[in-house]
Amino acid sequence: MSEHSGKVCPQSRPGTEPYWQACKRHEFLIQQCKECGNHQFYPRIICTSCSSRAVNWIPASGRGTVLTWTVVRRAVSNAYAAEVPYVIALIKLQEGPVLMSIVRGCEPESIHAGMTVEVSFEEWSDQVSMPVFVTTSG
Ligand SMILES: [Zn+2]
């Protein structure tokens, strides 16, 4: 059994397959509008800026900064018990979109707004490589 056995894994849904397939290859994708250049995440079928349906998947830098965070101190199940305390943060990607993710690589007390992070991947199941973020600055 892996260290991630029993965790709640996301299910691929219509429209999200390219994202999860890329994660499996340890590539981090976001969407970009062909009409106006807007970057967006999470995936949608139309551009959130101009409503065009011409949205493409593109490789993202995988880098961003912490906007805000919370520290999880009580595991929601035994599958997470070995990880508490851990950090869940809102991360502003270099391309602009904001996403929520786990941040690894620092003590929860040392995390702060503006901390730089980059994507990494954890194998949560045979089907799911979960993107998480690791700190790149103090
Ligand atoms: Zn657009």
Nearest to 59 by CA among 135, 119, 127, 134: 119
Is the CB of residue 93 less than 8 Å from the CB of residue 100? no
What does the alpha-carbon distance between residue 123 and residue 138 come to, in Å, rounded to a whole number?
26
- CA distances (Å), origin 5, targets 9, 10, 78, 128, 130: 10, 14, 10, 11, 13
Q: How far is the CA of 44 from the centre of ligand 1 (A)?
A: 12
Which pLDDT does position 123 carry in this prediction?
95
Q: How far is the CA of 43 from the centre of ligand 1 (A)?
A: 13
pLDDT per residue as tens digits for the range 26-60: 999 999 999 999 999 999 999 999 999 999 999 99
Q: How does strand 98-104 pair with strand 39-40?
A: unpaired
Is the CB of residue 100 less than 8 Å from the CB of residue 122? no
Taking the model in full, what pTM does it have?
A: 0.91
Question: Around ion ligand 1, which residues have CB less than 5 A away?
Answer: 33, 35-36, 38, 47, 49-50, 52
What mean pLDDT do residues 67-83 have?
A: 94
Which pLDDT does position 138 carry in this prediction?
55
Protein fold of 61-138: OB fold (Dihydrolipoamide Acetyltransferase, E2P) (2.40.50)
Q: How far is the CA of 24 from the centre of ligand 1 (A)?
A: 28
More confident residue, 135 or 1: 135
Residue 6's pLDDT band (boundaries 50, 70, 90)?
Answer: confident
Name the residue ranges covered by the structural domains of the chain.
12-60, 61-138
Largest CA distance in the chain: 46
Which pLDDT does position 2 carry in this prediction?
67
pLDDT value at 61 more than 90: yes
